[in-house]
């Protein structure tokens, strides 16, 4: 998987799309996949995941149909068995202790699953965007648009909350429970958006950019707080936030706003 994304690194910064892929990459990837089995397998993996979404997501999380979690996510480190202190295993909607097999639900366990589902959905948007560019098949763009429209409807309705579920704290976020997690969620989502943006109606693009990417990057998300983590945060939090902000600005073409 990582090898495929290595194919995309040497891309000019201001192409269409602008992030990690442009039209010149199609020929380059085609040549590499024709001669290198690892590259052909990597591309096939992207297309397989795009084809399987959302059915695979529905099966993995025990859902009846695909939908975004309706509440903000929880903190990954809370996904542990309260009796044995070991990490739980998510299987078809069950949160199982690997020691005694007990199934746990409620806060905070189910909210960690919300985190997992949001991360998987963002990665699906990226894979669908790549599949669309690699094949020019509109059905991949249509599936990606479904994700972007769902998040545009949901994002600003979620309250800012932190790992302890306290509201409107500086370290909190909306889809996720901290700025670090939300930035890492936004990076593949923005990449996927950049790949299908030109296949979306102008009104749809404007809604996604206004409701999510521009609001998230500038802190204009219905609150006076900024989207940046506290100064005392680990360097990884600042790195991810800076990366997500840069990708948002490029994918949204908002340099002049």
User: What pLDDT was estimated at residue 11?
Assistant: 40
In this structure, is residue 134 part of a structural domain? yes
Model-level pTM greater than 0.85?
no
- The number of angstroms, rounded, from the C-alpha of 194 to the middle of its chain's C-alpha atoms is 13
Q: What is the pLDDT of residue 32?
A: 95
pLDDT digits (tens, 9 = 90+) for 198-245: 999 999 999 999 898 777 665 544 443 444 445 445 554 444 455 445
Write the CATH number for 154: 1.50.10.100
Inside any domain, residue 19: no
- Look at residue 168 and tell me if it is in a domain: yes
User: What's the domain count of the chain?
Assistant: 1
Instruction: Compute the C-alpha angle 170/172/178, nearest 5°.
Output: 125
Cα-based distances in Å from 47 to 27, 103, 128, 139: 17, 34, 8, 12
Q: Would residue 12 count as lying in a domain?
A: no
The secondary structure of residue 161, as a DSSP letter, is B
Report yes or no on 182 lying in a domain.
yes
Residue 153 belongs to a domain: yes
Domain that includes residue 105, residue range: 66-251
Structure tokens at 109: 């366990």
pLDDT value at residue 21: 81
Does residue 51 lie in a domain region?
Answer: no
- Residue whose tokens read 């044995």: 84
User: Has residue 48 been placed in a domain?
Assistant: no
**pLDDT value of position 22:** 79
Mark the ranges of the chain whose per-residue pLDDT is less than 50.
5-15, 220-229, 231-232, 236-240, 243-244, 247, 254-257
The rounded distance, in Å, linking the Cα atoms of 170 and 182 is 13
The two tokens of residue 181 are 């997690």
Q: Return left, alpha or beta for 219; rule: phi > 0 is left, psi -120 to 50 is alpha, else beta.
A: left
């Amino acid at each position: 998987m990582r090898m495929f994304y290595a194919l995309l690194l040497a891309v000019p910064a201001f192409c269409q799309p602008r992030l990690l892929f442009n039209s010149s990459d199609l020929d380059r990837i085609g040549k590499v996949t024709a001669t290198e089995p690892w590259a052909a397998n990597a591309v096939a993996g992207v297309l397989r995941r795009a084809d399987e979404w959302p059915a695979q997501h529905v099966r993995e999380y025990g859902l009846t149909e695909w939908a975004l979690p309706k509440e903000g996510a929880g903190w990954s480190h809370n996904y542990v068995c309260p009796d044995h202190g070991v990490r739980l295993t998510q299987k078809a909607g069950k949160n199982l202790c690997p020691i005694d097999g007990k199934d746990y639900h409620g806060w905070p366990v189910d909210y960690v699953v919300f985190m997992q589902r949001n991360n998987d959905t963002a990665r699906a948007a990226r894979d669908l965007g790549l599949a669309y560019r690699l094949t020019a098949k509109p059905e991949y763009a249509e599936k990606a648009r479904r994700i972007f429209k769902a998040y545009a409807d949901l994002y600003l309705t979620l309250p800012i909350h932190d790992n302890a579920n306290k509201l409107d704290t500086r370290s909190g976020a909306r889809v996720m429970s901290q700025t670090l997690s939300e930035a890492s969620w936004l990076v593949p989502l923005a990449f996927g958006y950049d790949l299908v943006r030109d296949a979306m109606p102008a009104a749809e693009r404007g809604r996604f950019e206004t409701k999510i990417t521009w609001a998230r990057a500038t802190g204009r998300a219905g609150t006076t707080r900024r989207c940046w983590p506290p100064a005392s945060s680990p360097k990884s939090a600042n790195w991810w936030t800076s990366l997500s902000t840069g990708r948002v600005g490029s994918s949204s073409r908002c340099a002049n706003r």
